[in-house]
Chains A and B, each alone.
Chain A
Amino acid sequence: MANPTWILETRELTKRLGGKPVVNEVNLAIGRGEIYGFLGPNGAGKTTTIRMLLGLAKPTKGSVHIFGHDIRKERIQILRKVGSLVEYPSYYGHLSATENLEAVRRLLGVPKSRIGEVLSIVRLTKEADRAVKGYSLGMKQRLGIATALLGSPELLVLDEPTNGLDPAGIQEIRELIKSLPGSHGVTILISSHLLSEVEQMATRVGIIAKGSLIYQDGIQMLRERAKSRIRFGVSDPEAAWRLLLSHGYQADWDRRQLSVDRTDDRTVAAIVAQLVRQDHQVYRVEEETASLERIFLEMTGTEGSL
């Protein structure tokens, strides 16, 4: 049976379309109260995975357990406690936001007061009686989140909720999502193709590329991979590199720049002194931080490197 510590768990989740695996043996594990960032480039299999989590698509192989129950056997009971927004928001354009929420509310059977509550959470109260087709993309996206929140879910699944939004809209959605676990005690699975978008809110991340999960751990572990380096700008880098190696420093020379792993100030001072003593002209000593984004790119771009 499923591990009780995980609120959502998949085992060897696989989806083949036309013989080609779109999602390949993915083992997701999400704990209660986490904000789980589900990352991957476009077409990596994020949406297909999420569709299987919600029972919209059937896995070719493998299983999905949410709240410890199998989605294939207890789909309706599970979905009662799950709110979702898949890909772009779905709405009935000819109806107002209130009517859109009412259409879903009738299916969920929650009290009418929830409509006002979720509208105020996403700050759409003032626009609630306008036809949704006249909304901006950001407002439609917020309505989609309001719809997902309507049933007071324990698990919120948001698939690329900031896709196509301007920076202000992205910021707004991010603040909204960050506020949810604290004030509403929900677990959130949020997918994105941008690491920078989720790194500020996610507690754990899973990275999927070409259908396979290539990383799943705390965001802190990912940050540690983003080790910074000290770069030296010198007159003759190749000779300087040999010099540093001969003195036992782990220096790297990639024909463009000379660098060493990040180290303490005393070692840096010693290296500079050594270089100056040998008549090297030192132009720059800089610290270079590899961004998470670059690590993400390296991981997803060249899958084999992991």
Chain B
Amino acid sequence: MMLRLLSAEFLKIRKKLLWLLVALGPVGVVGLQAVNFGLRYDYLTKQYARDLWGGLITNVSLLALPAMFIGLAIVASMSAGIEHQTNAWKMTLALPISKRQAFGAKFLLNVLLLFVSCTLLVPFTLALGWALGFAAPIPAGELLRAAYYPFLACMPFVALQSWLSVTFANQALPLTVGIIGMIAAMFGSRFPDWMPWKWPLLVNAWHEPLYSVGLGLLLGAAVFLIGMLEFARKDVK
């Protein structure tokens, strides 16, 4: 059933520029770093002389984080907006599907789209590194961790934005929350460890990124469950 719901979701986002947005995020992030490294090539290669790839990955991650926060808010808002536009909820939820699964499908769609975005960061970063003439070996582990750890630590926000976007027909509120999240994430390193906005930075007192990832997954699951139950409980507009 979940697969059927997801295939319907993917059909519905056709011609909606959502895929373009998914690609545009990583293109923009890596593109800006291309400008950064292009303009300050000598300065930056001297600064990161010991680990050129590491320097590039750190810089890409730095930009990718706020992009991910605002991107996931927009993706969640657009995928929910498809239903809000003509209030298709009353049509979809009068079909023989459970409300929980309908909510789950929207959440999963957002997760998958964000996953594609984060995955695209890998080849784009590689391409930029090669173009800049960085030598092998490529730190594959570091690159993959930089792409997927923040994505996993971000789950509470994916769940929150999915929930807010399907709950409110007016997308101003979820988008505002998304923008505030983005700003908060930029100052994440100053927050105490328990603040979820800090987790995608993967910085904590134990110097173990997986703790941040684990916390993100746990809170993400909790927010998703609360959102799903609330969505199933309330009347359809």
CB pair A92 B94 closer than 8 Å: no
Task: State the Cβ distance, A57 to closest chain B Cβ, in Å.
Answer: 4
Q: CB within 8 A of A87: which of B90, B93, B96, B235?
A: B90
* A51 and B95 alpha carbons, distance in the complex (Å): 12
User: CB-CB < 8 A to A244: which residues of B?
Assistant: none
Question: A58-B235, A102-B11 are known contacts. Are A79 and B86 too (CB-CB below 8 A)?
Answer: no
Interface pair A92/B88, CB less than 8 Å apart = yes
> Beyond A106-B7, A106-B8, is A76–B86 a contact (Cβ under 8 Å)?
no
In the complex where A76-B96, A76-B98, A99-B14 touch, is A106 in contact with B4 (Cβ < 8 A)?
A: yes
B94–A106 CB distance below 8 A: no
Report the interface size class on chain A. 20 to 34
- What is the count of residue pairs linking A and B with beta-carbon distances less than 8 angstroms? 83
Bound-state CA distance A93–B14 (Å) is 11
Across the interface, A94 reaches (CB within 8 A) one of B4, B16, B236, namely: B16
Alpha-carbon gap, A151 to B95, bound state (A): 9
Q: How far is the CA of A95 from the CA of B82 in the complex (A)?
A: 11
Output the least CB separation between B35 and chain A (Å).
Answer: 34
Query: Which one of A91, A99, A106, A151 contacts B88 once the chains associate, using CB atoms below 8 Å?
Result: A91
B87 at the interface (CB under 8 A from A): yes
Q: Which of A75-94 contact B (CB under 8 A)?
A: 76-80, 82, 84, 86-94
A82-135 at interface with B (beta carbon < 8 Å): 82, 84, 86-95, 99, 102-104, 106-109
Report the separation of the CA atoms of residues A76 and B93 in the bound assembly, to the nearest whole angstrom: 10
**Do A103 and B235 touch (CB < 8 A)?**
no
Any B CB within 8 A of the CB of A273? no
A300 interface residue per 8 A CB criterion? no
Per the bound structure, the CA–CA distance linking A42 and B175 in Å amounts to: 35
Answer yes or no: B15 CB below 8 A from chain A CBs: yes
Whether B97 sits at the interface, judged by CB under 8 Å, is yes
Q: Is the CB of A94 within 8 A of B15?
A: yes
Q: What 0/1 readout, one digit per residue, does chain B (133-168) give for beta carbons within 8 Å of chain A? A: 000000000000000000000000000000000000
CA of A79 to CA of B16, assembled, Å: 30
A103 and B8 in contact (CB under 8 A), knowing A86-B91, A94-B15, A108-B95? yes
Closest to A159 in B: B90
Quick one: given A51-B235, A102-B11, are A90 and B90 in contact (CB under 8 Å)?
Answer: yes
The reply to whether the CB of A55 lies closer than 8 angstroms to some CB of chain B is yes
A54 part of interface (Cβ distance < 8 Å):
yes
User: In the docked arrangement, what's the CA distance between A217 and B60, Å?
Assistant: 72
**Chain B CB within 8 A of A276 CB:** no
Which residues of B sit under 8 angstroms from A57, Cβ to Cβ?
235-236
Pick the most buried of B15, B93, B94, B236: most chain A CB atoms within 10 A of its CB: B94
Instruction: List chain A residues, Cβ under 8 A from B93.
Output: 55-56
Interface string of A203-218 (1 = CB under 8 A from B): 0000000000000000
Instruction: Check A259 for interface membership: any CB of B closer than 8 A.
Output: no
Contact between B11 and A55 (Cβ–Cβ < 8 Å)? no
Q: Mark B1-23, 1 if CB is under 8 A from A, else 0.
A: 00011011001101110000000
Q: A94's closest neighbor in chain B, by CB?
A: B15
Determine if B94 and A84 form an interchain contact, defined as CB atoms under 8 angstroms apart.
Answer: yes
A290 vs chain B, min Cβ distance (A): 38
A187 close to B (CB within 8 Å): no
**Inside 8 A of A63's CB, which chain B residues have their CB?**
none
B108 → chain A closest CB, angstroms: 15
Distance in Å: Cβ of A67 to nearest Cβ of chain B: 13
Q: How far does the alpha carbon of A114 sit from the alpha carbon of B87 in the complex, in Å?
A: 24
Q: Which residues of B contact A87 (CB under 8 A)?
A: 90
Does A92 lie within 8 Å of B12, measured CB to CB?
A: yes
Chain A contacts for B88, CB-based, 8 A: 90-92
Given A56-B90, A56-B235, A90-B88, A107:B95 Cβ within 8 A: yes
**8 Å CB contact of B90 from A86, A102, A109:** A86
Contact pattern, B 63-86, Cβ under 8 Å of A = 1, otherwise 0: 000000000000000000010011
Q: Which 9 A-B pairs have the closest CB atoms?
A: A90-B91, A57-B235, A79-B96, A56-B236, A90-B88, A106-B8, A80-B96, A54-B94, A76-B96
21 pairs from A and B in contact (CB 8 Å cutoff): A54-B94, A56-B235, A79-B95, A79-B96, A82-B94, A86-B94, A92-B12, A92-B85, A92-B86, A94-B14, A94-B15, A95-B12, A99-B11, A103-B8, A103-B11, A106-B8, A107-B95, A108-B96, A147-B91, A151-B95, A151-B96
Known: A90-B92, A106-B8. 14 other contacts (CB 8 A): A55-B94, A56-B90, A56-B93, A56-B236, A57-B235, A76-B96, A86-B90, A86-B91, A92-B12, A93-B86, A106-B11, A107-B4, A107-B95, A108-B95
